[in-house]
Amino acid sequence: MNKDRKTYTLSDKELKLKQKSILTYTLLFFPLFGYTINRKMIYFWIGALIIGGIFLAIKSRLIQPKIRMKVMLIEIIITGCLTLWIFSNSISIPGFIKEVIFFLVLIVFFSYYFNLLYNGKLTNDVSV
């Protein structure tokens, strides 16, 4: 990584990764939140989750190979845990508390992921 690089300067490959990441995470995590609002549309939410999973595989091809598995493993674990957290009726916690914890986990994950992206550690492009 170039030390003179500004964090807001992204290469073309990083911009592509940013756009695909936003689309992927929208398709992965919006259905989980939407399910808490409208449980009658469960097949729609599960379909959107499946499409988000496909986009996750496509997006991961843009991440440099040496950290691709680590990032994908973190994404899969967080998505799986949040899916179980939201869809599970056996956890007797009010919906509002579930949503607050859901958003706290997402905020921490997104700050970590996009920090890596803007610092140029997810792709092997060198831009100034």
- pLDDT reported for residue 35: 84
- Entry field: residues in the chain: 128
Q: Are 117 and 21 in contact (CB under 8 A)?
A: yes
User: How many CB atoms are located within 10 Å of the residue 101 CB?
Assistant: 14
Q: What is the pLDDT of residue 34?
A: 87
State the pLDDT confidence band at 128, using cuts at 50, 70 and 90: very low
Residue 86 CB coordination number (10 Å):
21
Q: Distance from CA of residue 113 to its chain's centroid? A: 8
Radius of gyration from C-alpha coordinates of the chain = 16
Its sign, for the CA torsion 43, 104, 75, 122, is: positive
Whether residue 37 has pLDDT greater than 80: yes
Q: Whole-angstrom Cα distance, residue 32 to residue 81?
A: 11
